[in-house]
Amino acid sequence: TTTTTTTPSSSRPMSSKPRDVVYGGPKPPVERFTLRKLAAKYRRGERITMVTAYDYPSAVHVDLAGVDVCLVGDSAAMVVHGHDTTLPITLEEMLSHFRAVARGASRPLLIGDLPFGSYERDPAQAIETATRIMKEGGMDAVKLEGGSPARVRAARALVDAGVAVMGHVGLTPQSISVLGGFRPQGRSHDEAADIVERALALQDAGCFSVVLECVPAAVAAATTAALRVPTIGIGAGGACSGQVLVYHDLLGFTQHPHHAAVTPKFCKRYANVGEVITGALAAFREEVENGSFPSVAFSPYELREGDAARFAAALRERGLGEAAGAVEELEG
């Protein structure tokens, strides 16, 4: 007679993954926010929410908060890597951020920035980079800065290749060497009209949405009224179809002087997480230094019953009396 042993379906023999995935994170019981849902929300006149995040923990929070769109922006160069501009970050570095966010956010529409130097040469380069962002990074769409003829050609080529593209006009941080720094745009009537024209050109190239950054509210309102796709404002007033802020900025995450110097005036701080973090780290340092951490409550692992004495005896046999005494002091 042969006895067959049934393995429960919950067990995973021969798997490299543990049964309990510690950092798996909560799984929201909602469907993905897609481009179709974004367009439907725009048609209904409902405001669209977008947050820029760069890693797994922040993506989980964006997901749980029910935010519509998560942008993995090249501003990671400044916010995460400590650079003064967005220019130094590479495609390989951005791919790491894309993958981390994709693992943490299962609900929002995920958009990845095309980093500086990865798409400007010609449309073929743009398509190659966008393909990697979507296939290797797990993004749903890409964002492209600027509305010059070359950028519009790149956007059109990407759309023709099957890539969903978000445009971006106004202050375009990748162009600060041309713009003369992080300065608001569209403050003269000529500049304002140019912003509207560039946004229209991006729309005509097939962009599903356009970001308006650091422009007067009236310019953003005019651009929003002129377009048939949603605008996402950042420092552009309240008339846009939606708004975006950076995760670290809106949470008051970082207190370092470098971050304070680059946090924009238009950013509302909804929390002061940085103070909480610094306070908790200082409390940890103090408790370690005064010996109050870890207490018995945070030292949960014990030797098996009777093994403490045998362990101490084995140590004494090896001439390690002081070590044996340490065992007896804790286990006696």
- Show which residues are catalytic: 213
Bond into 294 cis (ω within 30): yes
Torsion, CA 143, CA 149, CA 153, CA 159, rounded to 10: 40
Measure the CA–CA gap between 86 and 94, rounded to whole angstroms: 11
- Residue (of 130, 129, 128, 120) closest to 165 by Cα position: 130
Torsion, CA 199, CA 204, CA 207, CA 209, rounded to 10: 50
Measure the CA–CA gap between 59 and 56, rounded to whole angstroms: 5
Measure the CA–CA gap between 150 and 158, rounded to whole angstroms: 12
- Residue (of 229, 211, 231) closest to 221 by Cα position: 231
- Residue (of 206, 258, 255) closest to 227 by Cα position: 206
Phi, psi of 244 (to 5 degrees): -135, 140
Which residues lie closer than 8 Å to 93 by C-beta, 6 or more apart?
76, 81, 115
3-state SS assignment for residue 234: strand
Please say whether the dihedral angle defined by the alpha carbons of residues 17, 18, 21 and 23, taken in this order, is positive or negative: negative
